[in-house]
Amino acid sequence: MNYIILGPPGAGKGTQAKNIAGKFGMVHLSTGDMFREEKESDEVVSKLLSAGQLVPDEIVVNMVKKHLEKDDIIKKGFLLDGFPRTVKQAEELDVVLKSKNIKMEGVLLIDVPFEEAVKRIVGRRICVCGASYHMTLLPPKEDGKCDRCGGKLFQRSDDKENVVRERFAVYERQTKPLIEYYEKSDTLIYINGLKDEKDVFAQISSCIANGL
């Protein structure tokens, strides 16, 4: 089973993708996580991330393509989180999937109003292991410490308020047109992201379990 998780920054894509991948056994492919890992080694990527701007389509598409060449990922199925983010990326993804005869079951749109997404982003704290928390909404058991690995939590540099504004502008301009793109192909599934983590998880689980 293969799905795309779409939604504005802070909607809860990463949180849900990790849990859903854990439950259904798919591979979680987060382009944001991949770039954050690469950040230290690649200055161009690092600058774009810090400014809240998108990495060029060609770089992102090639990176995703490499993952889709792995047999175990195709066998387990995958959950794309943070990709595609532009219509161009979506078109390129369609070409790759078609050439490999891979079917995409659906596009899960985690719908959250702007104010809620901002609140979530501002309180977000992450760990190097990929876990994500919220200072008040989803706090770790022990203050500042990762439940999963004990690592020290930190704030993403692009989660600071001045960059957040730019990321939302980028979402409106470059990513939102994807909603119409996937509505046209009848693959879009609306998820109410305003609910708590468990409720959103239940909504997504039920869609997947019913093969929607």
Active site residues per annotation: 13, 85, 124, 156, 167
Judged by CB under 6 A, the number of residues near ligand ADP is 35
Smallest gap from Cβ 150 to Zn ion, in A, equals 7
Comparing CB distances to ligand ADP, the nearer of 76 and 195 is 195
Residue 131 interacts, among Zn ion, ligand ADP, none and using kind-specific CB cut-offs from 5 to 8 Å, with Zn ion
Q: How many CB atoms lie within 10 A of CB 186?
A: 7
CA distance 144 to 209: 35
Phi, psi of 5 (to 5 degrees): -110, 120
Q: Which stretch binds ligand ADP (CB under 6 A): 68-76, 181-189, 194-202, 203-211?
A: 194-202
Q: Does 137 bind ligand ADP (CB under 6 A)?
A: yes
Choice from 134, 181, 189, 207 touching ligand ADP (CB under 6 A): 134
DSSP state at residue 1: -
- Site track 125-164 with Zn ion (rule: CB under 5 A), x = hit: --x-x-x--------------x-xx-x-------------
Helix H, strand E, coil C: the string for 21-89 is: HHHHCCEEEEHHHHHHHHCCCCHHHHHHHHHCCCCCHHHHHHHHHHHCCCHHHHHHCEEEECCCCCHHH
Contact present, 22 and 122 (Cβ < 8 Å): no
Comparing CB distances to ligand ADP, the nearer of 75 and 84 is 84
Comparing CB distances to Zn ion, the nearer of 109 and 127 is 127
Binding to ligand ADP in span 33-62, by CB under 6 A: 35, 48-49, 52-55, 60
DSSP state at residue 206: H
